[in-house]
Structure 1
Amino acid sequence: MVPATFWEHEPVRRALAARHLGRVIRAFRCHPYHGRNPLPQSAVAGWLGITQAQLSRVENGSAIVHLDRLAHWAQVLRIPAKHLWFALPNQPCHFGPEADKEQPGHQPAGSQETAGLATPPAPADAVTTASDEGGDTTDRRQFHALAALAGIAATGSLDLLATPTDAPRSIGMEQVRFASSLVDEFRRADAAAGADQLCDIAIRVHAHLSSWATKATYSREVGDALQTALAELACEAAWLTIDAERRAEARPFLHEAITRARLADDPRVEVRALTCLSLLTREERPGESLHCAEAALRVSSGWATPRLTTLLHMRRAHALAILRDTGGFNRELVKARREFDRGLHDDDLPFVHFVNEQEVSGLQGMSYLALGDPGRAAEIFRSIAVTPASIYRRNQLLYTLEFANAAYLQGDVNEAARTALSALPQLQEINSGRVTQLFSHVRSNLGRPARETLAAREFVDAYDQAVGR
């Protein structure tokens, strides 16, 4: 989202006053809010459903007068109606000398209702019509992440994402490679924006491509590659639903991914799906989680890298801890540490790149919590909290909040409150349902009257203000 003051920037104001939407778009792209580099024409063109060349002509040519296009693009960019010289559907026109005067029900600039009016469009709209596990607020980071994803529309492979009636009837390897590249795009966008911003986009893209693939023709070779690409997209959609705390939606994607991976005889994607299924089922069905990790170990036997094997043993260790099997937990932990000490490997799969010392320690700490040992858990989480990571900031934040949780369970309310308060600025920077839920859990604990301290009250008040309670 951009702030309400975004629209008061002089180049934007001049473009609006000139009633030239092309110049408005150019001023929008070049606004200093986006950083030193303007948003690329290719990304914004993707939002608008046109090509980069067409956007260039729109920005530099004569003013557009077609009302339908004006209204559609203004809505895509979320330009507040009071700045426009034409009426949006079901809204009055506000442009003119009276626009800045107080109107009944009008919210002053900077209010909660107006501060987010310019959210960049969900790239899935542009993709549909034109085309991991592991902001200042991050509004800016979110903006660039979604812009990068929307830029897919200008890569030149638009036929794969065309509407069903316009899609080609056959699929070639080039189109399959493009479908595979979407997984990398989602991973990069997820790292920048968080799953909450991408979950619905991934679901829609996956559904669109799956539906189109059932109607198209292709060779045996292309068919196997297509099954793998769609399985990887299903895994990515599942992961995003898990991180967005929409876990009930993840299982069908993972079952589909396993089926497609087996059809394509691709054990690597099958292992990723089983690993994700182990994560999904860990809390409510630890027995199933244990079996999924074991199945992944069997499927990957003979080719798994140390980092993959580490993750699978840690999945098993955590599930055994939830089952209160201390002996089994300790055995799996020893195996995981032994594998982790073997180091990195050139053949590491992309989805295990987050498996580092911080992650292994964090999963160990969470296992101690499950075993009812908050003291040992707090020691581990404290070491993570005091050593900020330059990457995987989402996991860093999660384990910092787990430190607050462990400190609270130990009875140290003040340390829990100070830790949570220090992490609070990141609440708006990392768009993850898991993060949001864990913050809410910590707030619920620290807000109990029987445990109230000055530090706890300070955190609760700051948290409530941050979330608008």
Structure 2
Amino acid sequence: MRLALAERHLGRVIRAYRCHPYHGRVALPQTVVAGWLGITQAQLSRVENGPPLVHLDRLSHWARLLRVPVESLWFRLPDAPRWTGASVANGDDQAAEQGVQAAVTVNVDRASSRGGDATDRRRFTVLAALAGLAAAGHPYLLAGQADEPGTIGMEQVRLASSLVGGLRQADAAVGAAQLCDVAIQVHTRLSTWAAKARYSREVGDALQGALADLGIQAAWLAIDAERRQEARPFPNEAITRARIADDPRVEVRALALLSLLLRDSQPGEALHCAEAAIRVSAGWATPRLTTLLHLRRAHAYAVLSDASGFSREMTKACRELERGPHEDDPGFVDFVNEQELNGIQGLSYLALGRPDRAAQSFRAITANPSPGHRRNQVLYTIDLAEATYQQGDASGAARIALDVMPAVTQMNSGRVSRHLAQVRSNLAAPRHASTTTRQFIDAYDRAVTA
């Protein structure tokens, strides 16, 4: 990998990544990685074995998609902030803070000159949030600082708790892809600080709960940014912290997220996590929380091809959802509504090989959108395109994907991008060639290289 980077050959970087021992004895197939990149296997082969790429748009897009560290690149990413991870890693607080402030200024100017378009507003929101940490007197949350406080009080605990809410709001505005590194960095700094600082028993219990909550939020952002491997440690750590703090509500949230994280790769473990959450929350769980946990189990059963288990859990979820919202609903279940129920039902039918039933569920979402949960709306619309494709209607799938593409380009969600890339990969087969499919593929390719 170092040699490939030194040779400034992105194709060889991709090949080094595919063949890395981390992936096991068998390298990642070219067809899989080509699907991520939105190209064919033959095209990837030429990229890996041909001359180095020189087109900056393609280099930048693939470098971002593969998350090559900025400091390892031999070119500058367009619109990249003026500070990099290197300044943070080296503990250069002043450089990092000044860079954030400069980037905020740049993006304020851009938003003004362009009439305040949505992309610049989202970028500004992220950078302003970063600058806000430094302005609040806590720059050590972004970079190392020798004189960080030796003791922790309730003020710092409240800061950790407020960061969770801030990250949730920023996630809704800008998407997880831009926030994931920030959340991980802040969680790491707070955890390191807490490990060596002094605090009272009361503060310690509250701190454990706050760090658990922050870790769960970092894990969610990593999942939505399609960086699941980085998300894996956080829920387990959060469960441990929640038990130390004797906070069952945080433990249930961590178990619910762990079930989501594992449902595709380890559906059996996902079932156990959701069942454990049901046990821990017995006696105090609200209907919407119980709905969420049954939906977690329903999808896991579907991935396991257990249609009866899926049907049983979906029935329970529907019954709980009908009981309506409750004043004690925890904040993290606000997305649990009829739209989410139909979405999980659709995904489960896809896993069970029933694209017809899946399409019915996804169409129910598009017919009755939930304005407050735009990202899920877009994601399930893309899944409708996938279900339509699996029913044999390639042109219909292309029309749906083409209609939703403008919304996708306004989001920074790895999950959403991956789902759309899969639709593009499916429709690229020569047998599906038509005016509509070509329009979608051309629009997709222009969007990802813009």
Looking at CA atoms only, which structure, 1 or 2, has the larger radius of gyration? 1
Match of 1:211 among 192, 195, 202: 192
Deviation at 1:160, TM superposition (A): 7.0
TM-score, normalising length: structure 2? 0.74
Distance 2:88 2:410 in 1: 24
CA contact (8 A) 1:297 1:309 kept: yes
CA contact (8 A) 2:294 2:316 kept: yes
Distance 1:430 1:424 in 2: 10
- Alignment-derived partner of residue 233 in structure 1: 214
Match of 2:124 among 121, 137, 143: 143
Distance 1:414 1:121 in 2: 45
Distance 1:390 1:331 in 2: 30
Alignment gaps of 5+ in structure 2: 1-53, 62-74, 98-115
- Alignment-derived partner of residue 382 in structure 1: 363
- Alignment-derived partner of residue 32 in structure 1: none
Q: 1:409 to 1:345 in 2, by over 3 A?
A: same
Letter of the 2:235 counterpart: L
Q: 1:114 to 1:230 in 2, by over 3 A?
A: closer
* Structural mapping, 1:458-469, within 5 Å: 458-468=439-449
Letter of the 2:93 counterpart: T
CA contact (8 A) 2:255 2:273 kept: yes
- Three-state SS of the structure 2 residue aligned to 1:392 is helix
Match of 1:117 among 76, 79, 82: 79
Q: 1:312 to 1:121 in 2, by over 3 A?
A: farther
Q: Does 1:453 find its partner at 2:417?
A: no
- Three-state SS of the structure 1 residue aligned to 2:278 is helix
Distance 2:238 2:92 in 1: 22
Q: Does 1:286 find its partner at 2:267?
A: yes
Distance 1:417 1:244 in 2: 24
Deviation at 1:397, TM superposition (A): 0.7
Letter of the 2:125 counterpart: H
CA contact (8 A) 2:141 2:185 kept: no
- Alignment-derived partner of residue 49 in structure 1: none
Letter of the 2:285 counterpart: A
CA contact (8 A) 2:126 2:179 kept: no
Q: Does 1:196 find its partner at 2:185?
A: no
CA contact (8 A) 1:142 1:192 kept: no
Match of 1:270 among 248, 251, 254: 251
Match of 1:400 among 378, 381, 385: 381
- Alignment-derived partner of residue 295 in structure 2: 314
Distance 1:388 1:128 in 2: 46
Distance 1:305 1:363 in 2: 19
Q: Does 1:426 find its partner at 2:404?
A: no
Distance 2:164 2:120 in 1: 23
Q: Does 1:324 find its partner at 2:288?
A: no
Distance 1:128 1:343 in 2: 51
Distance 1:382 1:466 in 2: 25
Q: 1:114 to 1:235 in 2, by over 3 A?
A: closer
- Three-state SS of the structure 2 residue aligned to 1:169 is coil
User: Over residues 296-339 of structure 1, what are the superposed CA-to-partner deviations in whole Å (9 max), with x where a residue is unaligned?
Assistant: 00011111111110000000001111111111111111110111
User: How many equivalent pairs are there?
Assistant: 358
> Quick check: 291-300 or 324-333, which moved more?
324-333
Distance 2:354 2:92 in 1: 49
Letter of the 1:117 counterpart: D
- Alignment-derived partner of residue 17 in structure 1: none
Q: 1:235 to 1:398 in 2, by over 3 A?
A: same
CA contact (8 A) 1:404 1:416 kept: yes
Distance 1:161 1:437 in 2: 29
Letter of the 1:252 counterpart: P
Q: Does 1:246 find its partner at 2:208?
A: no
Distance 1:150 1:411 in 2: 50
Distance 2:120 2:180 in 1: 17
Equivalent pairs: percent with the same residue?
A: 61
Match of 1:129 among 79, 93, 100: 93
Distance 2:92 2:367 in 1: 44
Match of 2:392 among 397, 400, 411: 411
CA contact (8 A) 2:339 2:369 kept: no
- Three-state SS of the structure 2 residue aligned to 1:391 is helix
* Structural mapping, 1:358-373, within 5 Å: 358-373=339-354
TM-score, normalising length: structure 1? 0.71
* RMSD after superposition: 2.7
